[in-house]
């Protein structure tokens, strides 16, 4: 019986010739990730174990990003815990304020994630690295602790859903629209504990930033992971960013899939997820007249340089609508610098937006953009659950950077086409 990409990676890391869906395995880990919210729990759990140190100081990444720079005393204490742990165990990949960024944008940028890896992270959007042909998935803090101590993790081998992408997206349609369309089609539990494997000739028309966005939101469909085949674009990205060797796995022709969907990219339209679930999607021409109070452009989903370029293209020479707040958050310090050098930050500020240091902040209702009762926000983040960004009676509309930027100008959910672009 043939294996999928994910199954081949897991088999190799478990030292097995083959695995089948539903099989329980113990696999070696290439990277264990934690942030300032999840790492302290894992650290306290590890303190209870009879181990003196971590399994490999080079294969652990600790990224303070959710409440950094610290928003209050509690967040400062969390970061202090992580900082002291990193110093005690001489963790190579600890990223202090000034070097940090939003974890799922930072790690690929730093070359820590490559094709063929098995990666766990105590954050649900760890599935982002599947864009590079890795198996990466979110785990709980206890599993993170075990991973840091032993370098291993238990998995139930997932079955897979194949998404065949064909054609080329039209102007203003991005990876965010692709994944919102898919989640709207199959639902937030449509890929529950399954590998979402993206294939097809349409992939060549998606940038790496598009692919990171799509893999990032696999969890919003319930997926165990999202993964792309490794093509020349992915190889070029890894060759530019990483000094590590990578291993390319390809699905067997006779691999079994739970189901198969065809996604015609040239038929997709800008898509918006209405409150209070990512599956509650409408195309831009179905939205209607919805006035908004705040825009957030950033996050591990859409805070990369392509996202900022699109937003700047829409905002250039235009002004933020009166009474509207627009918050733009580059995902890493490197992206922030690049945006400055390209003049994007100047464009944002001249339009009337504010630009923040890299942080997850508003995405999880932490800080840098909390919503009051009754307020509406168009956000390029990944979740719009009740109370996700503030008051339980606020509303979040998930969209691409293009739609978010156009909405910033009009004061209501809009497409760049409505601005004549």
DSSP assignments along 180-247, one per residue: HHHHHHH-TTTTTT-EEEEESGGGGGS-HHHHHHHHHGGGGGT-SEEE----HHHHHHHHHH--S---
CATH topology of domain 271-419: Aconitase; domain 3 (3.30.499)
The CA–CA distances, whole Å, from 41 to 103, 145, 146, 238 equal: 18, 8, 12, 32
- The reported pLDDT for the residue numbered 230 is 97
Radius of gyration of the chain (CA): 20
Mode of pairing for the β-strands spanning 135-138 and 118-121: parallel
Report the predicted TM-score, pTM, of the whole model to 2 decimal places: 0.95
Token pair belonging to 328: 């733009």
Query: How many C-alpha atoms does 10 have within 13 Å on its Cβ side?
Result: 30
Tens-digit pLDDT profile for the chain (421 aa)?
799 999 999 999 999 999 999 999 999 999 999 999 999 999 999 988 888 899 999 999 999 999 999 999 999 999 999 999 999 999 999 999 999 899 999 999 999 999 999 999 999 999 999 999 999 999 999 999 999 999 999 999 999 999 999 999 999 999 999 999 999 999 999 999 999 999 999 999 999 999 999 999 999 999 999 999 999 999 999 999 999 999 999 999 999 999 999 999 999 999 999 999 999 999 999 999 999 999 999 999 999 999 999 999 999 999 999 999 999 999 999 999 999 999 999 999 999 999 999 999 999 999 999 999 999 999 999 999 999 999 999 999 999 999 999 999 999 999 999 998 8
Residue 293 CB coordination number (10 Å) = 17
Cα-flanking dihedrals φ and ψ of residue 371, to 5°? -95, 140
Nearest to 161 by CA among 19, 280, 256, 281: 256
Q: Looking at residue 398, what DSSP letter applies?
A: E
Nearest to 104 by CA among 136, 77, 82: 136
Distance CA 198, CA 210 (A): 12
Token pair belonging to 259: 């189901």
Distance CA 383, CA 385 (A): 6
Collapsed DSSP state (helix, strand, coil) of residue 291: strand
Q: Would you list the domain boundaries of the chain?
A: 5-264, 271-419
Same fold, 5-264 and 271-419: yes
CATH of domain 5-264: 3.30.499.10
Please answer whether residues 223 and 191 qualify as being in contact, where contact means their C-beta atoms are separated by less than 8 angstroms. Answer: yes
Distance CA 59, CA 120 (A): 11
Question: What is Dmax (Cα atoms) for the chain?
Answer: 64
Distance CA 64, CA 103 (A): 8
Q: Assign residue 401 a region: left if phi > 0, alpha if psi is -120 to 50, beta otherwise?
A: alpha
Nearest to 224 by CA among 199, 197, 251, 195: 195
Burial zone of 117 (CB within 10 Å; 0-12 exposed, 13-18 middle, 19+ buried):
buried
Residue matched to tokens 């264990």: 32
The CA–CA distances, whole Å, from 84 to 55, 65, 81, 147, 386 equal: 17, 16, 5, 19, 35
């Amino acid at each position: 019986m043939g294996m999928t990409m994910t199954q081949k990676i897991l088999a190799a890391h478990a030292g097995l010739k083959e695995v089948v869906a539903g099989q329980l395995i113990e696999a070696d880990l290439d990277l264990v990730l934690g942030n300032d919210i999840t790492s302290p729990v894992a650290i306290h759990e590890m303190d209870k174990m009879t181990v003196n140190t971590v399994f490999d100081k080079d294969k652990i990444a600790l990224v303070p990003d959710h409440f950094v720079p610290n928003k209050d005393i509690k967040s400062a204490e969390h970061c202090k815990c992580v900082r002291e742990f990193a110093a005690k165990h001489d963790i190579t990949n600890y990223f202090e304020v000034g070097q940090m960024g939003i974890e799922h944008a930072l790690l690929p940028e730093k070359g820590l994630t490559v094709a063929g890896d098995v990666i766990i992270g105590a954050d649900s959007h760890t599935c982002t690295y599947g864009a590079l042909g890795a198996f990466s998935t979110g785990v709980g803090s206890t599993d993170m602790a075990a991973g840091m101590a032993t370098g291993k993790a238990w998995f139930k081998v997932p079955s897979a859903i194949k998404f065949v992408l064909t054609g080329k997206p039209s102007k203003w349609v991005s990876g965010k629209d692709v994944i919102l369309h898919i989640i709207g089609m199959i639902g937030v539990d449509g890929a529950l504990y399954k590998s979402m494997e993206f294939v097809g000739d349409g992939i060549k028309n998606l940038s790496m930033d598009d692919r990171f966005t799509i893999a990032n939101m696999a969890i919003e469909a319930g997926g165990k992971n999202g993964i792309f085949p490794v093509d020349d674009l992915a190889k070029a990205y890894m060759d530019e960013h990483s000094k590590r060797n990578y291993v390319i796995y390809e699905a067997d022709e006779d691999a079994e899939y739970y189901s198969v969907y065809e996604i015609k990219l040239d038929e997709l339209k800008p898509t918006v997820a209405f409150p209070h679930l990512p599956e509650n999607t409408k195309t831009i021409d179905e939205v209607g007249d919805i006035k908004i109070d705040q825009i957030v452009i950033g996050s591990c989903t859409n805070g990369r340089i392509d996202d900022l370029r699109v937003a700047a293209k829409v905002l250039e020479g235009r002004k933020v609508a009166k009474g509207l707040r627009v918050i733009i958050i580059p995902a890493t310090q490197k992206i922030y610098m690049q945006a400055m050098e390209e003049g994007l930050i100047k464009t944002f500020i001249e339009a009337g937006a504010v630009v923040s240091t890299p942080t997850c902040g508003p995405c999880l209702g932490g800080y840098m953009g909390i919503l009051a009762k009754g307020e509406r926000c168009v956000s390029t983040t990944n979740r719009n659950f009740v109370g996700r960004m503030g008051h339980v009676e606020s509303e979040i509309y998930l969209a691409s950077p293009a739609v978010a930027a156009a909405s910033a100008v009009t004061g209501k959910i809009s497409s760049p086409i409505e601005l004549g672009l």
